[in-house]
């Protein structure tokens, strides 16, 4: 091979190595704490948190349908159990490393002990439907110990020559906040099962455990499930999970390990590899740090690294001091995509407050589908980040629970359509007070999925019926104020303020709902008469108002306090995720929104900071959006890069990703805007595979803060308006390959 080719090969290898390094979370010690240190894996339905202990491995696992509750009570998401592997080999450990490679969705643990190199490789396979945990050593017969399975609900536990089983029923379990403290009407059956395979040595049942001795390789296959089905007409109960679990485990255990791993990686990467992001280069000294120390360096706490590479992001703001790490900022974005693929796949339930991962049977906020921002925030970014398939569980869950909400709405509110409450479970039961506009907010995600994909079948069968029924709800619920304007009945701005009519939260969401319905009706060519009625109602709505100190009012009356820094700022829905207010279409209202956001401040809880990033990006202030992003990483991410409210809430991870998408690309105003909120600290970079509304795939490369190259692609060539470096161009999209 000649020198130029050798140089090219070296550069390609170095680039591939650097990319692989960028996509890894790694640590030099086992995890002790579930929330802050353990690392998540998942296949959409099954999930686990990995601890990586040397003498004892703990794998805490979940299955997304293990819920208590019914049609009157939210209930709560439940922990499933723990898989423990106790190892006999004792001695001094060297070279310990646990690692989550999000480019492959594979978790590894490696270390040396008494001259033997040990390696564990774990993954949750979507194609196989099971989780696989494999332990090897470079010395034959070096593995001895015991495997045990613990049930979080004290069900029946059995062991046989092939594996361990736990099973039971959730009857009698209640959440501490339940209104109905008696036994729930829906008590699911559940079962968890492991198959254990080994090469070399022996395996035997002893005291309810599987004891392995002098084996070369130990492979554990884990599955679990319930008899839940998302069909009310079947009373939410399907087949007992035993047969399906047994079939999946048997098939996985009879498949060569290399084939299982390859199928898993191919499936995962078919989603993950659609989008790449480069926000700049991190100093090599920082890249070599374990992730927890790397996060500390970003915060300015690791002085050994921060010294000499202090970075202020081209600003004098002292809060931005720390080790420069744009690759960490990109990694956290990609970690959100990893988490979404891991906890929300077609056929499964959607991501809840903690995605899929939960170790408590009495979790905070029930680990539920919180409908006054949180579950919506979970799915803001999925289509923009080229993960449209991951949205389907959200839509299927919503459509499954609407019949329950419809019946309660008719009974208690005496109107057509349906409304929901803040807290929601998987059986349609919802606790907490009514929140009439939450339904419109839930439907907003449906519109966005259609706007990105242009999937007419989805619009016709899944989204449009929801829009129409919600319009009927508001047709029956809106009232006229003394000036003849249509206002929502008295309600709270979420978790904040007085109970009054016409608050901005309701008004903006109803405006958005009506707008989405009108456009959907036109696209489908249906219900022209009712469309005219909705257009008339929209024109009569009380519109956004500017208050006495220049703010965008949160309520119909001018009640805003300039010193109020509440974490909810629900009068910003019209800015983001809605499309009623923007700098280009409503500049005065956009300026008023800035006044309100300045008053609210930049600090808050994890998810609230994420929303602030999104709002400032929509207001096209990239430096302000970045300042909050930087502060969020410093204050709202745990050592394992999970976001905290506190406690851990996954909406912070997903909201962060939504904010990055909005900083790089916007398409809600009818044109594709490239780098609409690019901060100065990302002067050079590249993103490929972002999605714009209209089913356009977008690649952007920039230098010195300006677009130097871009590509717009779609399934068929179409003309589209693109705003590039402040200039609007009409371009023809390339054919997507």
Convert the pLDDT of each residue in 131-162 to its tens digit. Answer: 999 999 999 999 999 999 999 999 999 999 99
Tokens of 393: 């569980």
**Axis-axis angle for helices 587-600, 606-618 (nearest 10):** 150
> Is the pLDDT at 311 greater than 60, yes or no?
no
Closest CA to 374 of 577, 230, 596, 620: 577
- The CA distance from 389 to 382, in Å, is 8
Radius of gyration of the chain (CA): 26
With contact defined as beta carbons under 8 Å apart, do 418 and 469 qualify? Answer: yes
CATH class of 274-345+602-737: mainly beta
- The CA distance from 647 to 204, in Å, is 41
Q: What is the mean pLDDT of residues 374-391?
A: 98
> Is the pLDDT at 50 greater than 50, yes or no?
yes
User: Considering the chain, what percentage of its residues have pLDDT values greater than 70?
Assistant: 93
β-partners of residue 110 are 97, 119
| Total Cβ atoms within 10 A of residue 41 | 26
Mean pLDDT of the chain: 92
- The CA distance from 678 to 660, in Å, is 9
Block residue for tokens 């001695």: 91
Closest CA to 71 of 367, 345, 409, 376: 409
Spatial neighbors of 307 by CB under 8 A, at least 6 apart, are none
Detail the DSSP E strand segments found in 481-634. 486-487, 491-493, 496-500
Q: Is 350 left (phi over 0), alpha (psi -120 to 50) or beta?
A: beta
DSSP code for 488: P
- The CA distance from 503 to 545, in Å, is 11
Q: Which sequence spans correspond to the domains of the chain?
A: 23-272, 274-345+602-737
Residues 69-116 have pLDDT tens digits of: 999 999 999 999 999 999 997 778 999 999 999 999 999 999 999 899
Block residue for tokens 């004891």: 211
**Axis-axis angle for helices 504-524, 528-540 (nearest 10):** 160
What's the pLDDT score for residue 291?
Answer: 97
Closest CA to 573 of 562, 588, 557, 589: 589
| Total Cβ atoms within 10 A of residue 13 | 10
Q: What is the value of pTM for the model shown? A: 0.95
DSSP 3-state of 604: coil
What's the pLDDT score for residue 737?
Answer: 78
Strands 434-435 and 420-421: antiparallel
Categorize the per-residue pLDDT at 633 as very low, low, confident or very high, splitting at 50, 70 and 90.
very high
Compute the half-sphere exposure of residue 472: CA atoms within 13 Å on the CB side of its CA.
15
Categorize the per-residue pLDDT at 303 as very low, low, confident or very high, splitting at 50, 70 and 90.
very low
DSSP 3-state of 183: coil
What's the pLDDT score for residue 695?
Answer: 98
What's the pLDDT score for residue 321?
Answer: 56
pLDDT higher for 422 or 165? 165
Cα 649 to Cα 368, 370, 606: the distances in Å are 11, 11, 8
DSSP 3-state of 271: helix
Categorize the per-residue pLDDT at 179 as very low, low, confident or very high, splitting at 50, 70 and 90.
low
> Is the pLDDT at 200 greater than 60, yes or no?
yes
Write the burial class of residue 136 (CB in 10 Å: 0-12 exposed, 13-18 middle, 19+ buried). middle
Cα 194 to Cα 131, 201, 250, 373: the distances in Å are 9, 19, 10, 38
Contacts by 544-548 with C-beta closer than 8 Å and gap 24+?
Answer: 544/504, 544/507, 544/508, 544/571, 544/574, 544/580, 544/581, 544/589, 544/592, 546/588, 546/589, 546/592, 547/592
> Is the pLDDT at 302 greater than 70, yes or no?
no
DSSP 546-583: B-TTSPBPSSSSS---TT---S--GGGTTTTTSSS--T
What's the pLDDT score for residue 172?
Answer: 83
With contact defined as beta carbons under 8 Å apart, do 252 and 133 qualify? Answer: no
β-partners of residue 90 are none
Count of residues in the chain: 737
Please tell me the CATH code under which domain 23-272 is placed: 2.70.98.50
Residues 674-685 have pLDDT tens digits of: 999 999 999 999
What's the pLDDT score for residue 581?
Answer: 98
- The CA distance from 563 to 600, in Å, is 7
What's the pLDDT score for residue 573?
Answer: 96
Cα 100 to Cα 20, 104, 335: the distances in Å are 11, 9, 10
Closest CA to 186 of 238, 242, 240, 237: 237
What's the pLDDT score for residue 21?
Answer: 47
Same fold, 23-272 and 274-345+602-737: no
What's the pLDDT score for residue 594?
Answer: 97
What's the pLDDT score for residue 496?
Answer: 86
Q: How far is CA 646 from the centre of its chain?
A: 16
Tokens of 492: 């709270």
Tokens of 586: 């409503």
Spatial neighbors of 685 by CB under 8 A, at least 6 apart, are 277, 278, 279, 280, 326, 701, 702
- The CA distance from 589 to 326, in Å, is 33
Q: What is the mean pLDDT of residues 315-330?
A: 69
> Is the pLDDT at 210 greater than 60, yes or no?
yes
pLDDT higher for 237 or 431? 237
With contact defined as beta carbons under 8 Å apart, do 141 and 214 qualify? Answer: yes
What's the pLDDT score for residue 301?
Answer: 64
| Total Cβ atoms within 10 A of residue 498 | 12
Residues 646-702 have pLDDT tens digits of: 999 999 999 999 999 999 999 999 999 999 999 999 999 999 999 999 999 999 999
> Is the pLDDT at 727 greater than 70, yes or no?
yes
User: Considering the chain, what percentage of its residues have pLDDT values greater than 90?
Assistant: 86
């Amino acid at each position: 091979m000649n020198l130029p080719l050798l140089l090219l090969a070296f550069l390609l290898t170095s680039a591939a190595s650097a990319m692989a390094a960028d996509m890894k979370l790694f640590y030099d010690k086992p995890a002790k704490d579930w929330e802050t240190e353990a690392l998540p894996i998942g296949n959409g339905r099954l999930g686990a948190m990995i601890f990586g202990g040397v003498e004892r491995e703990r794998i805490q696992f979940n299955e997304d349908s293990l819920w208590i509750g019914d049609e009157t009570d939210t209930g709560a998401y439940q922990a499933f159990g723990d898989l423990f592997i106790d190892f006999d080999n004792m001695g001094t450990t060297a070279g310990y490393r646990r690692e989550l490679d999000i480019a492959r969705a594979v978790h590894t643990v490696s270390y040396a002990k008494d001259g033997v190199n040990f390696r564990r490789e774990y993954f949750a396979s979507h194609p196989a439907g099971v989780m696989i945990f494999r332990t090897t050593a470079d010395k034959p017969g070096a593995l001895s110990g015991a495997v045990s399975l613990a049930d979080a609900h004290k069900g029946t536990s059995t062991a046989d020559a092939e594996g361990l089983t736990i099973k039971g029923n959730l009857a009698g379990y209640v959440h501490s906040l339940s209104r109905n403290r008696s036994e729930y009407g829906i008590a699911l059956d559940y079962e968890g099962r492991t198959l254990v395979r080994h090469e070399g040595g022996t395996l035997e049942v002893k005291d309810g455990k599987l004891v392995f001795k002098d084996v070369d390789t130990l492979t554990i296959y884990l599955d679990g499930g319930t008899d839940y089905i998302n069909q009310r007409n079947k009373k939410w109960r399907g087949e007992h999970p035993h047969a399906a679990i047994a079939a999946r485990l048997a098939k996985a255990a009879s498949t060569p390990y290399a084939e299982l791993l390859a199928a898993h990686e191919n499936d995962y990467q078919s989603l993950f590899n659609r989008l790449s992001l480069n926000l700049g280069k991190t100093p090599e000294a920082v890249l070599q740090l374990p992730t927890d120390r790397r996060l500390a360096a970003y915060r300015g706490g690791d002085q050994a690294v921060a010294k000499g590479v202090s970075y202020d992001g081209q600003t004098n703001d002292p809060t931005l001091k720390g080790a420069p790490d744009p690759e960490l900022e990109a990694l956290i974005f990609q970690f959100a995509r990893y988490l979404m693929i891991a906890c929300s796949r077609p056929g499964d339930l959607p991501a809840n407050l903690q995605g899929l991962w939960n170790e408590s049977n009495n979790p905070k906020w029930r680990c539920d589908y919180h409908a006054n921002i949180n579950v919506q925030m979970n799915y803001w970014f999925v289509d923009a980040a080229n993960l449209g398939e991951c949205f389907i569980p959200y839509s299927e869950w919503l459509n499954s629970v609407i019949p329950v909400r419809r019946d309660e709405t008719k009974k208690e509110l005496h109107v057509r359509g349906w409304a929901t409450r803040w807290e929601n479970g998987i059986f349609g039961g919802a606790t907490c007070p009514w929140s009439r506009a939450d339904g419109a907010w839930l439907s907003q995600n449906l519109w966005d999925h259609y706007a990105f994909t242009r999937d007419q079948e989805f619009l016709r069968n899944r989204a449009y019926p929801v829009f129409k029924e919600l319009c009927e709800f508001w047709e029956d619920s809106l009232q006229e104020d003394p000036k003849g304007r249509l206002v929502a009945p008295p309600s709270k701005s979420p978790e904040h303020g007085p109970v009054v009519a016409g608050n901005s939260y309701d008004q903006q969401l109803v405006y958005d709902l009506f707008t989405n319905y009108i456009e959907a009706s036109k696209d489908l060519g249906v219900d022209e008469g009712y469309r005219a009625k909705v257009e008339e109602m929209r024109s009569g709505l009380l519109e956004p108002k500017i208050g006495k100190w220049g703010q965008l009012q949160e309520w119909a009356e001018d009640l805003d306090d300039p010193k109020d820094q509440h974490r909810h700022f629900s009068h910003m829905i019209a800015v983001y995720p809605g499309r009623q207010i923007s700098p280009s279409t409503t500049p005065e209202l956009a300026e008023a929104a800035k006044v309100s956001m300045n008053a609210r401040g930049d600090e808050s809880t994890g998810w609230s900071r994420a929303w602030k990033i999104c709002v400032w990006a929509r207001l096209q202030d990239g430096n302000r959006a970045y300042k909050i992003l930087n502060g969020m990483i410093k204050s709202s991410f745990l050592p394992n890069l999970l976001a905290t409210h506190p406690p851990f809430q996954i909406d912070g991870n997903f909201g962060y990703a939504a904010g990055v998408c909005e900083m790089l690309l916007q398409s809600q105003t009818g044109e594709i805007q490239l780098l609409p909120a690019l901060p100065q600290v990302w002067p050079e970079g590249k993103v490929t595979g972002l999605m714009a509304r209209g089913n356009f795939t977008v690649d952007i490369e920039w230098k010195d803060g300006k677009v130097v190259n871009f590509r717009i692609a779609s399934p068929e060539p179409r003309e589209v308006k693109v705003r590039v470096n402040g200039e609007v161009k009409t371009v023809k999209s390339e054919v997507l390959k």
